Amino acid sequence: MSWTVIPPTDENPVVTAVFDGYLSADEGKASASAFRVAFGGMSFAVVWDVTRMTGFDGGARGAWAKAIWPIRNQINSLKVIGAKGKIRVAATFLAFLLGKPCEVVTSGGPEV
């Protein structure tokens, strides 16, 4: 598996998605679905850790766009960690479409 979704906790009220390697279309659908479920009807800040991500299939990007649109009002802000090149463009574009503040950092940095 090239992804993990970490649901929020009382100690860390953030929905985090961590990607490793190449995200295929099928893994994009599965990860986007798990991400959406993690919200459970609540609103949270979001972290996408793409530090070890090497790329993604167009179908994965489409699955994420489709999955996050219905929960856009539950996303308070977005922090993207480690994004470079095409991955950075895709992440910031999704944040722009959602109309959410987006911080892009090269490493973990301060918490969201």
* Domain residue limits, the chain: 3-105
**Residue 112: band (very low, low, confident or very high) from pLDDT cuts 50, 70, 90:** very low
pTM for the predicted model, two decimal places = 0.88
pLDDT digits (tens, 9 = 90+) for 10-67: 999 999 999 999 999 999 999 999 999 999 999 999 999 999 999 999 999 999 989 9
* DSSP code per residue over 73-112: GGEEEEEEES--HHHHHHHHHHHHHHT--EEEESS--S--
pLDDT greater than 80 at residue 108: no
- Which fold would CATH assign to domain 3-105? Transcription Regulator spoIIAA (3.30.750)
